[in-house]
Chains A and B, each alone.
Chain A
Amino acid sequence: MKFDTPAGTNPIDQGKVVGRPTPRIDGKFKTTGTAPYAYERHDVAPNQAYGYILGASIAKGTITSIDTAEAEAANGVIGIVSTLDHKPVPLGPMNTANLFGGGEVQHYHQAIAMVVAESFEQARAAAHLIRVDYARGEGSFDLKRAAPSAEPVEDSEKRQGDFEAAFGNAPVTLDATYTTPDESHAMMEPFATIAAWEGDKLTVWTSNQMIQWNKRDLAKALDMPIEKVRVDSPYIGGGFGAKLFLRADAVVAALGAKQVGRPVKLSMQRPLTFNNSTHRAATIQRIRFGAGEDGKLTAIAHESTSGNLPGGGPESAINQTELLYAGENRLTAMRLAILNLPEGNAMRAPGEASGLMALEIAMDEMAEKLGMDPVAFRKANDTQVDPMNPERPFSKRKMIECLDRGAREFGWERRNPQPGRNREGRWLVGHGMAVGFRNNLLMKSGARVRLSGDGIVTVETDMTDIGTGTYTILAQTAAEMMGLPIERIRVELGDSDYPISAGSGGQWGANNSTSGVYAACVKLREQVAQSLGFNSDEVEFADGQVRAGERSFPLGHAAAENDLTAEDSIEYGNLDKQFQQSTFAGHFVELAVDAYTGEAHLRRMLAVCEAGRILNPISARSQVIGAMTMGAGAALMEHLVVDKRFGFFVNHDLAGYEVPVHADIPHQEVIFLEETDPVSSPMKAKGVGELGLCGVSAAIANALYNATGARVRDYPITLDKYLDRLPAVA
C-alpha cells in the first residue's frame, strides 16, 4: 500500500481497540520468566556448546601472536576461534569498527578470540589461558585535545541569512559552550546469540532490533547468500540502539559453530559490552543566540564537535536546532575528530538527546538574560514552518499546547524565578523546564495476516518488540481492522522468515509497523468479503462478525475451508518532504538539593507530549517514563570515563557506569495531547519512544540551576561541579 496522500477516515478511527489502554499481551510471559530471550533457547538446537569471547587489551595496534596451546589443552575445550585465522569480516553499511578477524586492533575490547567449550565455566577459564602479544600503536583518545584539529563534516554546515551580522547587531546575546560525555546503552540483556548450521544454512537466535539489517550484514560478514541466513529474535532485553546493527556476538558464534560443527551459544560478558560495542559519543557544543529586547531570536548558531573512529559518523547534535525555533539568521555545523575509542553510533534519540541537552540549557540562559519566563520565551519563538524552508509547514506542531498544558498541570506559576531562593528546611528547591523535540521517521514496513476457520487472526512480521509494546499494538491494529477482540489475535515477531518490517529504532517502529499490519489487513478484508460473496465496499467488520446489509457471518466462516492469508507493506510517497513531521514535548521537573551536602533529588517529573495518535496509552506512557529515566541518568550520573592514556572506557560494568535506580526516580507523570496526524500514516500516529528522552536532561539541569544558582554546562551534573557554588548556608 502506497501512502501518498493524507489519510481520510478509516477503520482505525473507530478506536474500539486502538488507542485504548491495553495491558501488554506478552505480559504474562515476561512476568513469569517464560518469555524466551536469545541465550535461553535450549530447545532450538541440540548439543549447544558454550562460547566465551576474549577482548583485546589494547586500544590500537596489531596482534603479533596468539598462543592458544594452553587454552586448547584445558578441560572441556572444543575449539578456539582466533582472529588471526580469519580475514576481517566485511562490514555492512551501519558498522564502523571491525567486528572480528585480522591482526589489527581498532579499539579496546575488540573481539579477538572465542573459546568454545562444553560448559560456560570451562570456556571462561580457558579464555584466560590464551596468551596474546601486541604491538601497541599510538592513538588519539581525548576529544578536547583533538577538537581543534577536527574536520568539518561534509555538507553539515547550513546557513540562512547572515548569522554573524545579526549576532553582532543583536542587543541581547549568549555565547556558551556545553559538553556531553560518552554514554552507554547498558541494556539489561547483554548481546547474546545461539548459532547453528544445517549444511550451508545458518540460523542465529539472537537479540537484535533490526532483523533484516542483521540478516543482510551477517550474510555479508560470512560471505554467504542472504537467503541462507535466518535470524530469530522474538524477545529482546532492551537495546536502545546497541542492538540496531550486527555485533560481534553473532559473528563469532556463527564462526565458532561452523568451526566446531556444533551449535554455539554465547552471551557477551558484561564487562566487555561497554568497550566492545557502540556508545553515544561525547560532544562539545557551542551555541550562540542573538535576540531583540522583545525576546524574538534573530540569530541562532549551533556548532557541535564529536569524535569517532576513522570512517565513523558524527553525533549529530545540531539536528533539532534546524527546526525547533524561529529566527531568520541561522548557522548549524558539525566537526568530527578522529578518536581511537570504541565506535560512536546510535543510542536512543541520537543527535537530539545530546543536542537538546545543550540547546535547552542555552534557551534557559537566554530567557534569563532577556528577563523572560522560560516558557514564554520558547512560545515567543515558535514556528509553524521549517525555518530553513518556510514553504514547508509542519504537519502538526503543538509545542505551545504542550507547554501551556504542562505549565498548568505542574503549577509553573508558583516557581520562584530567582535562583537559589526557594528554601524548604534543609532543601533548596528548584523548578526547570525544557522543550522535547524528535522527528517522525517513515520506513517501509510489511506484515502477513492469516485468518483461520476458528476466527483467529495471526500476524507475522519480522518486526521486533524491544520493550516498546509492539506485540500489543500490532494485535490492537489487527483487532480493530478485523472487528475482533484482542484475545483473538496472535502476534509472531522477530523471525526473518516473516515479511520485512521497519524494525525498532529511531522511534519509527510503532507507527510504521502498525501501518504495515493495517495494509495487510486491508487486503485480508477484501479476501474475506470475496470469500463470503460480499461487495467489499459495504462490508462492516465488528464484534467478530462480517456484515453487509442484512447478511452477517462470523469472521471465521470466510476461512472455513482454507486459511486466508494476506501480505502487504506500507510504503510512503513524499509527504515527509512536503511536510516536516515531528513530535513535541514539554518537560517540567522539580528537584531538591541538600543545602549542606549538595546532593540532588528529583521530586517530580512531568512530560506533556504530542505525537499523533497514541496507539496504546499504557505502553506509550511507559516508553516516555523510561526515556525520562534515561534522561535523568544523562543529566545527573551517566558518564563513560575515558582513560586518555590507554584509550578505553574505564567504568565498563554496571557498578562503575551508573544508571538511575529506584531511589533516584520519583513519580513520573505523562500527558498525551489528544491528536492525530493524518499526514504521517493511515494510523495517524507518530513516534513517541524517544521523545521522552529529548529535552528532559536540560529540564533537570535548569531545575538544578533554579535551586542553587549554579549553572553547570558540563554533563553529567555531579556534585563536584557545583558544590563550591551553593548558596551560603544561613
Chain B
Amino acid sequence: MTIDHRTLLASRRGVLAGSAAGVAVHSASPAFAASSSQKADADPTAKVSLKVNGTDHALDVDTRTTLLDLLREHLKLAGTKKGCDHGQCGACTVMVNGERINSCLSFAVMHEGDEVTTIEGLGTPDDLHPLQDAFIEHDGYQCGYCTPGQICSAVAMLQEIRSGIPSHVQDDITEDPSVTELEMRERMSGNICRCGAYSNIAEALAEFAGETA
C-alpha cells in the first residue's frame, strides 16, 4: 500500500497563498509586503508596531509569525515559554492591553498598536514583582517552564475577578465573583503545571491576592 497524503495539503496551500494576495489588496493596516513583482510563493511579510514592556518596536515579520515567536525569536524575550504552540498549555501567556492571552494562538501582525506585557516586564531578578516573590516563597514551581505563564496569567486573572467577569464555579453568576481559592483554581486551569506545583501556586496566589486586595 502506498500513501501520498501530501497532495491535499499542497493543493490547499496553493489556495491559501492565492487568498493571502487577495487580502493584501484590501488591507490597509497591517500592510502585506507580498506583491506581484515577487515570486508567486514569496512568504508574505508585514509591518507591525507594538509596545512590549514599555518599549516601542517596529518589525517586519512573516505573517505566520505568532506573537509568541515574535517575542521569543525576534525580540529574544525568551521568558515567555512555548509548551505546545496550540493553545493547550498556557506556558505562553502574556498580557495584551492588560488582558491575558495565549500568545501562541495569536499572529504578531494582529497586534498593531498593542501594549504587551511579558514576564520580563513584571519584574527582574533584582527587582521582583510581589507575585514572583510569592512564587519563590511558596515554591510555586519546580522546573520553572510553566512559571512565567502562571505568573502572567495570575496577574490578569485577579483583574478579571475584580472587574466582575463571571466563572463556572460561582454560586450565582449575577453576583460579583470574589477572590476565593476555588475561583482562582478554576480560572488558572488553562495553565498546566506538569511538575504539579498547584497546591503551592494556590498558596502563592492567596498571599498575593490578599496583599493586593
Is residue A312 within 8 Å, beta carbon to beta carbon, of the partner chain?
Answer: no
Sorted nearest first, the 3 A-B pairs with minimum C-beta distance are: A33-B79, A629-B196, A237-B145
Docked-complex contact B119 and A33, CB < 8 angstroms: yes
Q: Which residues of B from 111 to 167 have beta carbons under 8 Å from A?
A: 118-120, 122-126, 128, 132, 135-137, 139, 141-148, 151
Chain A interface (Cβ within 8 Å of chain B)? 23-24, 26-37, 39-40, 42, 57-58, 64, 70, 74-76, 119-122, 125, 128-136, 185-190, 235-238, 240, 267, 269-271, 466-469, 618-619, 621-623, 625-630, 653-655, 659-668
Asked if B147 and A31 make an inter-chain contact with CB atoms under 8 angstroms apart, the answer reads: yes
Minimum CB distance partner of A33 in chain B: B79
Contact partner of B196 (CB less than 8 A), chosen from A31, A122, A665, is A665
Chain B residues lying within 8 Å of A468, measured Cβ to Cβ, are: 142
Contact A186 B194 (CB under 8 A): yes
CB distance from A121 to the nearest CB of B (A): 4
Chain A residue at minimal CB-CB distance from B182: A663
Are A269 and B194 closer than 8 Å at their CB atoms?
no
Task: Decide if A270 touches B2 in the complex (CB within 8 Å).
Answer: no
B202 touches A662 (CB 8 A): yes
A121 and B64 contact, Cβ closer than 8 Å, known pairs A29-B125, A75-B41, A238-B195: yes
Q: Report Cα–Cα, A33/B103, bound state, in Å.
A: 15
Q: Is the CB of A667 within 8 A of B139?
A: no
Tell me if B86 and A271 are in contact (CB < 8 A): yes
Please give, as numbers and ranges, the residues of chain B lying within 8 Å of A623 by CB-CB distance.
142
Report which of B69, B144, B198 forms a contact with A237, defined as CB distance below 8 A.
B144
- Interface size band for B: 35 or more
Tell which of A42, A58, A665 touches B76, judged by Cβ atoms closer than 8 Å.
A42
Contact across chains for B196 and A660 when beta carbons are under 8 A apart: yes
Most A Cβ at <10 Å: residue of B76, B89, B141, B145: B145
Q: Which residue of B lies closest to A623 (CB)?
A: B142
The one of A30, A42, A75, A663 that contacts B43, using a Cβ cutoff of 8 Å: A75
Bound-state CA distance A186–B125 (Å) is 29
- The answer to whether the Cβ of B213 comes within 8 Å of any Cβ in the partner chain is no
Shortest CB distance A243–B (Å): 11
* Main SS at interface, chain B: loop
CB of B62 within 8 A of CB of A121, answer yes
Q: A64-B2, A76-B43, A130-B6 are in contact. Are A187 and B144 (CB under 8 A)?
A: no
Contacts of A132 in B (CB 8 A): 3-4, 6
Cβ of A32 and Cβ of B79 under 8 Å apart? yes
Given contacts A662-B185, A663-B186, contact A625 B197 (CB under 8 A): yes
Cα A663 to Cα B181 in complex, Å, equals 10
A31 near B132 (CB under 8 angstroms)? yes
**Are B188 and A662 in touch, CB under 8 angstroms?**
yes
Question: A28-B125, A130-B6, A630-B196 are contacts. A23–B139 as well, Cβ < 8 Å?
Answer: yes
A37: chain B residues within 8 A (beta carbon): 78, 81, 145
- A629 CB to closest chain B CB, in angstroms? 3
Given A238-B195, A659-B192, are A128 and B143 neighbors across the interface (CB < 8 Å)?
no
CB-CB nearest in chain B for A616:
B139
User: Are A237 and B143 interface neighbours, CB within 8 A?
Assistant: yes
Given contacts A32-B128, A238-B194, 5 further A-B contacts (CB under 8 A): A28-B132, A33-B119, A39-B78, A75-B43, A125-B64
B160 to chain A, nearest CB (A): 15
> Can you report 9 A-B residue pairs in the complex whose CB atoms are below 8 A from each other?
A30-B141, A32-B79, A34-B124, A64-B2, A238-B145, A623-B142, A661-B188, A667-B199, A667-B202
